[in-house]
Structure 1
Amino acid sequence: MSESETARLGARVRAYRTMRRMTVRGLAGEAGASASFISQLERGQAGASVGMLRRIALALGVTVADLFSEDDEVGHRVVPRSGRPELPAGPGARKYLISQRPLRNLEMYAGEFDPGASTGAEPYTHGDSQEILLVIRGEVALWLGPPGEAARHVLGPGDSVEYRTSVPHRVANEGERTAEVLWVVSPPTPAT
């Protein structure tokens, strides 16, 4: 890569890292690199192997191609309901990505929970971002806090709750109808 290409790559890595509110050390830890290497990469003073770029992209929640894209403008992107990318979810649960990659300022997901379905048996965390859960249809229970200490909230259509993604949380449909929810997370959390 030329010096200007290396500098542009470093600037994009820094931009995605700061957008995600990650420190240089945080990104280095997630990518399996040293903080000094990430710092040099961001300043355009070092290049990276394809393997390292893959680990950095994964830690930032983008693709390797996004790290090289010169297109900072996000145009209108219409995604029909049938075209939403489906993400892994537990039995009886479906999760769809609504915001399109590369995730810049926020991420948004739609979820459907059949009766008895949940996000899993255990609460989970992801990063330290602001998350909003909005119930569109049906009713869900949300637990916030560590196991054994979690507060339980029952939410119906139109109800919402806001919390940090670093707080253990779990969603379950204890009702008799399919529930539909939306999650909005800002800034996007690193991929784990």
Structure 2
Amino acid sequence: MTESETVRLGARIRAYRTMRRLTVRGLAGLAGASPSFVSQLERGRTSASVGMLRRISGALGITVADLFNEDDGAGHRVVRRLERPELPAGPGTRKYLISQRPLQNLEVYAGEFEPGASTGGEPYSHGDSQEILLVLRGRVTVWLGPPAEAVANTLAPGDSVEYRTSIPHRVVNDGDGTAEVLWVVSPPTPL
């Protein structure tokens, strides 16, 4: 890699790190590197092995290829409903990624729940970002908090709830028909 390529790579790593609201120390911890190494890498003063770049990109929730993509994301990207990437989900649940990779400032998901379906038997948490769940169709209950202390929030179409992704949460379709929801998370959380 040339010196200018090393500097540009470091700048992209720093940009993704700041979008994720990670400190140098935080990224280093997630990637299994020293903070001084990450700092030097971001300033273009050193290069990294492919293995280290994989760990860094994984910690940032992107691919190694994204680290080398110099496209600034200008313009727009259309995602047709039938072309949405589907994520693994439980029985009776479908979850689709709306925002396209590499995730930059936010991530958006659409979800469909058959009657009685949920995000799983146990609440889950991921990272520490702001998350909004908006009900588009049907009725769901969003449980927020640890299982012993969880608060139930029943939402109808047009209702939303906002919470930190670090708070355990679970979504259940208590209604008789299919429920459709939209999740918006900013900044994107590690996968």
Give the alignment's TM-score, normalised by structure 2. 0.96
1:55 aligns with 2:55: yes
Letter aligned with residue 76 of structure 2: H
The 4+ residue runs of structure 1 with deviation greater than 6 A are none
Q: Does 1:185 align with 2:172?
A: no
**Match in the other structure for 1:91:** 91
Q: For the residues of structure 2 that align with 1:29 and 1:119, how far apart are their CA atoms?
A: 29
Deviations 1:4-38 (A, max 9, x none): 11111111000000001011121112222222221
State the shift of 1:173 in Å.
0.9
Percent of residue pairs identical: 79
Whichever residue aligns with residue 51 of structure 1, its letter is G
What letter matches 1:52 in structure 2?
M
Provide, for residues 86-128 of structure 1, a one-character-per-residue CA deviation record: whole Å limited to 9, x for no partner.
1111111111000111111111000011111111111111111
Equivalent residue pairs, number: 191
Tell which deviates more after alignment, 67-76 or 1-10. 67-76
TM-score w.r.t. length of structure 1: 0.96
- Secondary structure, aligned partner of 2:170: strand
Q: What root-mean-square deviation, in Å, do the aligned CA atoms of Structure 1 and Structure 2 show?
A: 1.1
CA distance, structure 2, for counterparts of residue 44 and residue 142 of structure 1: 45
Q: Unpaired segments of 5 or more residues in structure 2?
A: none
Distance 2:115 2:33 in 1: 44
Alpha-carbon distance, 1:74 to partner = 2.8
Q: In structure 1, what is the equivalent of residue 34 of structure 2? A: 34
Match of 1:116 in 2: 116
Partner of 1:74: 74
User: Which whole-Å CA distance do the structure 1 matches of 2:149 and 2:97 have between them?
Assistant: 30
